[in-house]
């Protein structure tokens, strides 16, 4: 009667299950508010700056706003909300067993969970940030840079925070610690730090695409894409190992 589930099927199933669990009205509403605030701030700023400054300066201000508001807070925090909940909520509720005790390999569950996280959190960040970049109206470079950096950042943060959700019970607090202390303090210290923080890569993409110099944004586009991909793969491997050795309630 029952058989085993192929890797691809398992990915689809895990994805479907987790999207359903992750999308709650409260979360979406709260994050929508965040998105609207972001767009609003960008609109206010760009209008204020556009009145009396040159275009080049307006672009610089737009980039600064985008990288500060968008890429130090919106992108990582939204990814944190959903990615840490992917396995974190199931573990907390005691429902992980309905995914764990199945004739499925562990890696497709991990990949499916990551895809679920991404398919919820990417739209929630990409749409408001792109809208914000469009409102800023400082040239198509910023729009394109925002889209690319947002995608890379979201995918990488999601993988890392999903792993965090498997490793610790209090994953959101650890995630906030990572964002504020590691990315905010430690990685800001020297030229080495930026390579050890996802923020360094998103900022580099923005700097590269817009041609504007950005603090902590000196990496090449190639590096800024390849390294996050490697980070994602590493997070997959570790998550799979962790899921295998986990004590399920």
What residues make contact with another protein under the rule CB under 8 A?
A: 1-5, 9-10, 13, 16-17, 20-21, 24, 26-27, 30, 34, 37, 41, 44-45, 48-49, 61, 64-65, 68-69, 72-73, 77, 80-81, 84-85, 88-89, 93-95, 97-105, 170-174, 176-177, 180-181, 184-185, 247-249
Judged by beta carbon, residue 199 or residue 227, the one nearer another protein is 199
As a whole number of angstroms, the distance between CA 224 and CA 86 comes to: 26
DSSP annotation of 184: T
Least distance to another protein, CB of residue 221, Å: 26
| 90 closest CA partner among 244, 245, 243 | 243
Least distance to another protein, CB of residue 154, Å: 16
Least distance to another protein, CB of residue 173, Å: 5
| 109 closest CA partner among 14, 242, 223 | 14
The runs of H, that is alpha helices, within 66-139 are 75-93, 97-100, 106-136
Judged by beta carbon, residue 147 or residue 186, the one nearer another protein is 186
Least distance to another protein, CB of residue 129, Å: 14
- Supply 1's token pair: 């009667």
Judged by beta carbon, residue 15 or residue 155, the one nearer another protein is 15
As a whole number of angstroms, the distance between CA 41 and CA 46 comes to: 8
Judged by beta carbon, residue 217 or residue 227, the one nearer another protein is 217
Question: Residue 237: which residues within 8 A CB-CB, separation 6 or more?
Answer: none
Judged by beta carbon, residue 25 or residue 191, the one nearer another protein is 25
Category of 99 on φ-ψ map: left (φ > 0), alpha (ψ -120 to 50) or beta: alpha
Least distance to another protein, CB of residue 248, Å: 4
Least distance to another protein, CB of residue 184, Å: 6
Judged by beta carbon, residue 108 or residue 219, the one nearer another protein is 108
Judged by beta carbon, residue 47 or residue 226, the one nearer another protein is 47
Encode 185-219: b = buried (16+ Cβ within 10 Å), e = exposed.
eebeeeeebbeebbbbbbbbbbbbbbebebebbbb
As a whole number of angstroms, the distance between CA 170 and CA 22 comes to: 17
Other CB atoms within 10 A of residue 83 CB: 33
Least distance to another protein, CB of residue 45, Å: 4
Are the beta carbons of 205 and 145 closer than 8 angstroms?
A: yes
């Amino acid at each position: 009667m029952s058989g085993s589930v192929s890797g691809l099927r398992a990915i689809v199933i895990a994805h479907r299950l987790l999207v359903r669990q992750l999308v709650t009205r409260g979360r979406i509403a709260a994050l929508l508010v965040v998105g609207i605030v972001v767009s609003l701030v960008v609109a206010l700023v760009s209008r204020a700056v556009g009145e009396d400054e040159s275009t080049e300066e307006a672009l610089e201000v737009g980039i600064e706003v985008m990288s500060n508001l968008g890429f130090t807070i919106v992108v990582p925090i939204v990814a944190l909300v959903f990615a840490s909940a992917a396995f974190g909520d199931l573990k907390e509720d005691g429902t992980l067993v309905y995914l764990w005790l199945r004739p499925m390999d562990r890696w497709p569950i991990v990949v499916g969970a990551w895809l679920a996280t991404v398919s919820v959190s990417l739209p929630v960040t990409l749409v408001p940030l792109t809208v914000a970049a469009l409102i800023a109206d400082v040239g198509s470079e910023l729009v394109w840079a925002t889209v690319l950096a947002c995608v890379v950042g979201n995918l990488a943060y999601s993988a890392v925070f999903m792993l965090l959700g498997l490793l610790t019970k209090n994953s959101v607090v650890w995630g906030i610690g990572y964002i504020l202390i590691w990315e905010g303090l430690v990685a800001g210290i020297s030229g080495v730090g930026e390579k050890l923080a996802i923020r360094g890569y998103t900022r580099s993409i923005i700097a590269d695409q817009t041609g504007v110099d950005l603090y902590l944004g000196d990496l090449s586009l190639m590096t800024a894409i390849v390294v996050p991909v490697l980070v994602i793969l590493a997070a997959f491997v570790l998550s799979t190992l962790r899921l295998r050795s986990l004590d399920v309630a």
